[in-house]
Amino acid sequence: MLVNESFILADESLILVNESFILADESLILVNESFILADKSLILVNESFILADESFILADESFILVNESFILADESFILVNESFILADESLILVNKSLNSTPLLPCPLLPLLPPPLPHSQRMKIWQADFYRRPLQDASGQILWELLICDATRSFKYEATCLQSAANSNWVAAQLELAAGEKLPDVIQVFRPQSLSLIEAAGRNLSINIEPTRHTLALKQWLQEKQYPSALDKPPPAPLPENLWGEQWRFATLAASDVETRFSDRPIPILHIPEFLKPINLGLASTVPVPGVVIYGGRQSMRLARWLQQARPVALNYISGAPDGLVLEAGLVDRWIVATFEDSEVTTAAQTYEQRKQQSRGLHFLLVQPDDSGMTYSGFWLLRAED
């Protein structure tokens, strides 16, 4: 049957109403590019997922009552279980004896947006600018700028005399390397390079990210036989106004690392994509070790300080006394705790052994107390060479 350019096949049938596919009676409905499953169902309306059970929902100017099967979406009124459909001034009664037409194919649209075209993706570089064991013909020391992306499919290098090593020269080289489109972010791991590249980035409106996670660049430096290890200062004690009340070692199954905290209101949550257990190839049952700090009234202050310090790894260091040292920023080191108790030392050794089993992945959790009701901050950590 053809009603107002609308195809209908009655009795648990496929309906096309003004380019909207509908399969009635506990069915899949596509209304103006919105998928709807009636009766205690999952709904995607204007790119919003909704699960409703006898509930009224207002989402993107769409009113929905699911269990009673009233749906209003994009100027279309639908009553599914009784099979009345009003769409674009066309009234249709389904589940009555109507003439049939051949079934039409029902294309299922993807629920996830397609990946952005390459031209629209964020352009991220890794860069190092430092004096090298190189000299020009007259014996003067040379500085070298190395730039690459995370896959090293893009590489750029240039050298200059030490007398010309300034932010203006770096900015000019960045423009030459970029061509038509400047990078969105440049990652820098070396403190001695940071100030010059930051100044060049300000001139060109490029964000500069200090980070140890520049694996591609460090591999390139290693191939060139350039040193990439950085001198680190001795660890400093944590400021007294940040001391927590207690701390302990803990473990989480790899499968729980992300799900345990993703749906909780945690003010500071740091779970980088590259550190998710699934992206490290960890089995779901592998124990991921960590440290929990009960900060009491200082809990939120400690979490904010850690956020600014940018934690990288939390390591057990044996000595007299033993301790936990936080690696943070590019080269910073902080003493989080010290201890002499043999049982704590044994637990710390187990903590380091589990880090080896979890491919270095571990965590730091800050919360006011051990009630498990509130959290201040959570970080996934892994040492960077």
What's the average pLDDT block by block, 10 residues per block, for the chain (385 residues)? 40 42 43 42 42 38 40 40 39 35 34 45 93 82 95 96 94 95 97 96 96 96 91 92 92 92 87 94 96 95 96 95 96 95 96 97 95 92 88
**pLDDT score, position 234:** 94
**pLDDT score, position 351:** 98
Closest CA to 185 of 273, 125, 145, 127: 125
**pLDDT score, position 285:** 95
User: Residue 351 has which token pair?
Assistant: 């903590």
**pLDDT score, position 120:** 52
Residue 320, C-beta contacts closer than 8 angstroms, at least 6 positions apart: 340
State how far the Cα of 49 lies from the Cα of 67, in Å rounded to an integer: 16
**pLDDT score, position 22:** 46
Q: Is the pTM of this model over 0.75?
A: no
With H, G, I as helix, E, B as strand and everything else as coil, classify residue 171. helix
